[in-house]
Amino acid sequence: MSTSSITGLAERLRRFADARDWDQFHSPKNLAMALVAEAGELAAEFQWMTEEHSRSPDAAELARIQAEAADVFNFLVRLSDKLSFDLVAAAHEKIDDNERRYPAEKVRGSARKYTQY
Amino acid sequence: MSTSSITGLAERLRRFADARDWDQFHSPKNLAMALVAEAGELAAEFQWMTEEHSRSPDAAELARIQAEAADVFNFLVRLSDKLSFDLVAAAHEKIDDNERRYPAEKVRGSARKYTQY
Amino acid sequence: MSTSSITGLAERLRRFADARDWDQFHSPKNLAMALVAEAGELAAEFQWMTEEHSRSPDAAELARIQAEAADVFNFLVRLSDKLSFDLVAAAHEKIDDNERRYPAEKVRGSARKYTQY
Amino acid sequence: MSTSSITGLAERLRRFADARDWDQFHSPKNLAMALVAEAGELAAEFQWMTEEHSRSPDAAELARIQAEAADVFNFLVRLSDKLSFDLVAAAHEKIDDNERRYPAEKVRGSARKYTQY
């Protein structure tokens, strides 16, 4: 993947929607709704699995997980493209925030603190 | 952002979890559950907005949308890292599939077909 | 429906799970995960609809909406049954809270306040 | 609770929205979006819990779970009220379907079958 991995994906998704005249449906509100629906499908893959099993899914399970994760990702990229923000930069800012809110020396090993995360 | 935008993010999230001893909580099942919860928070930002308004959120709304999108993205990257798959490659494969399932010349302008998408 | 509408449903869901030996999968954690996945399917029914259209779905759309709402409801009833709480009482308490937090005379017609709801 | 447990709830939610002039925001599309957002908050209560722990939450956890389940339920009741369908009847129909699709004698003890549920 090149530097433009997400940029390249955003462009491809834009062409995909344009070629089908689907851009009209892609309001940020609708994209957020489609995204949470796909996140629900991703959750469904794991709903009856034990945590232990989820660490080593079989090949068919992993293929379905990847496909659902990809659907979430595509709507996330499309949303950030429509609203013109940089997903990777936003992700780093959020980690900056979390580093301040959860100083490692304070929360280390504290499951209780974690539950408020 | 460099070539390693997602790779760099995955590494930073790994260090973040390790420093806090939180890796124990990050089973793929739990990460998928956290991801759909964050996707719900993203949906909440849009729930009472009109579609029209969602195309031009004000600065405060956009900041919250970015922060929630970042949370979803971070859990998505973390999940793909724990299960060792390439999110961008999976996204492209999904678009390949969708190009086959929804040929542009057939679906162009058809909202009805779109609703089955 | 009798007085026991939800009670009757809870009992039927209990028998359904027991007859299939599925009770073992129905930890509250798993039920919550299944519930949010079904809520995602409900959202999917509406994702490309306009708000206006969603007020008058056609018969096929309404049938799918009802079926998805039923799935959410069944998992909600099952969850409340496993954790022994009264869903209707909890719902009334939540409305009590909301009546205190959003006094009608103050918020009437205020969309801005509403967005913090 | 009387026969009208859900009916009574639907009426109270209707008055609540009317008194605040919020009915304008309650298109079925928006209600479905709010519902999945609340389902995400319910999922969040369980995301880092073990399944085992989720079977016996402490008092504070249980109070939060009830409150989130109530939010989901209120939006579900409101949605069914706006679209004029009977939630309990729809739930029973869905169980009828599931009894046909998953005959007890065939699926008993089969976790694999269950994962397709």
Q: For chain C, list the strands marked E by DSSP.
A: none
Measured CA to CA, the distance from residue D79 to residue D55 in angstroms comes to 30
- The confidence score (pLDDT) of residue A112 equals 57
- The confidence score (pLDDT) of residue D106 equals 87
With a cut of 70, list the residues of chain A below it in pLDDT: 1-4, 109-117
Q: Give, for B60, the enclosing helix (H) or strand (E).
A: helix B59-82
Q: What is the pTM of this model?
A: 0.94
> In chain D, positions 58-97, which contact chain B (CB-CB < 8 Å)?
none
Chain D contact present for A51, CB below 8 A:
yes
- The confidence score (pLDDT) of residue A5 equals 87
Tell me whether residues C117 and B48 touch, CB distance under 8 A: yes
Neighbour tally for B5: CB within 10 Å: 23
Chain A contact present for B44, CB below 8 A:
no
Chain C contact present for A7, CB below 8 A:
no
Distance from CA of A23 to the nearest CA of C (A): 11
pLDDT digits (tens, 9 = 90+) for C34-63: 999 999 999 999 999 999 999 999 999 999
Question: Which chains pack against D, by 3+ Cβ pairs within 8 A?
Answer: A, B, C
- Residue in D36, D40, D115 nearest the CB of A48: D115
- Residue in A51, A91, A94 nearest the CB of B30: A51
Place of tokens 């490659």: B89
DSSP secondary structure letter of residue B97: H
**CB within 8 Å of B17: residues ≥ 6 apart:** B23, B26, B78
Measured CA to CA, the distance from residue C74 to residue C64 in angstroms comes to 15
Q: Which residues of A touch C34 (CB under 8 A)?
A: 44, 47-48
pLDDT average per 10 residues of sequence, chain B (117 residues): 74 97 96 98 98 98 98 98 97 97 85 54
- The confidence score (pLDDT) of residue C3 equals 42
Tens-level pLDDT at each residue, chain D (117 residues): 444 589 999 999 999 999 999 999 999 999 999 999 999 999 999 999 999 999 999 999 999 999 999 999 999 999 999 999 999 999 999 999 999 999 998 888 665 555 554
Query: Read out DSSP for B11-27?
Result: HHHHHHHHHHT-GGG--
pLDDT digits (tens, 9 = 90+) for C53-103: 999 999 999 999 999 999 999 999 999 999 999 999 999 999 999 999 999
Q: Which residues of B touch D27 (CB under 8 A)?
A: none
Interface test with D, best of C11, C58, C83 (most D CBs within 10 A): C83
pLDDT digits (tens, 9 = 90+) for B49-62: 999 999 999 999 99
Query: Read out DSSP for C85-110?
Result: --HHHHHHHHHHHHHHHS-HHHHTT-
Q: Which residues of C touch D78 (CB under 8 A)?
A: none
Measured CA to CA, the distance from residue A5 to residue A48 in angstroms comes to 33
Tokens of B32: 């998928």
- The confidence score (pLDDT) of residue A116 equals 52
Chain A contact present for C39, CB below 8 A:
yes
Measured CA to CA, the distance from residue D32 to residue C42 in angstroms comes to 7
- The confidence score (pLDDT) of residue D1 equals 42
Interface test with A, best of C36, C47, C65, C78 (most A CBs within 10 A): C47
**CB within 8 Å of D65: residues ≥ 6 apart:** C28, C83, C85, D42, D45, D46, D57
* Number of DSSP helices (H) and strands (E) in chain A, helices first: 7, 0
* Under 8 Å between Cβ of D115 and D102: no
Q: Which residues of A39-61 are buried (b: 16+ CB within 10 A; e: fewer)?
A: bbbbbbbbbbbebebbeebeeeb
Q: At what angle do helices A5-20 and B5-20 cross, to 10 degrees?
A: 120
- The confidence score (pLDDT) of residue B3 equals 41
The C-alpha angle with vertex A114 and arms to A110 and A115, in degrees rounded to 5, equals 125
C116 vs C17 pLDDT, higher one: C17
Q: Which residues of A touch B115 (CB under 8 A)?
A: none
The residue of chain A with its CA nearest to that of C31 is A47
Give the torsion sign (CA, D34, D40, D43, D48). negative
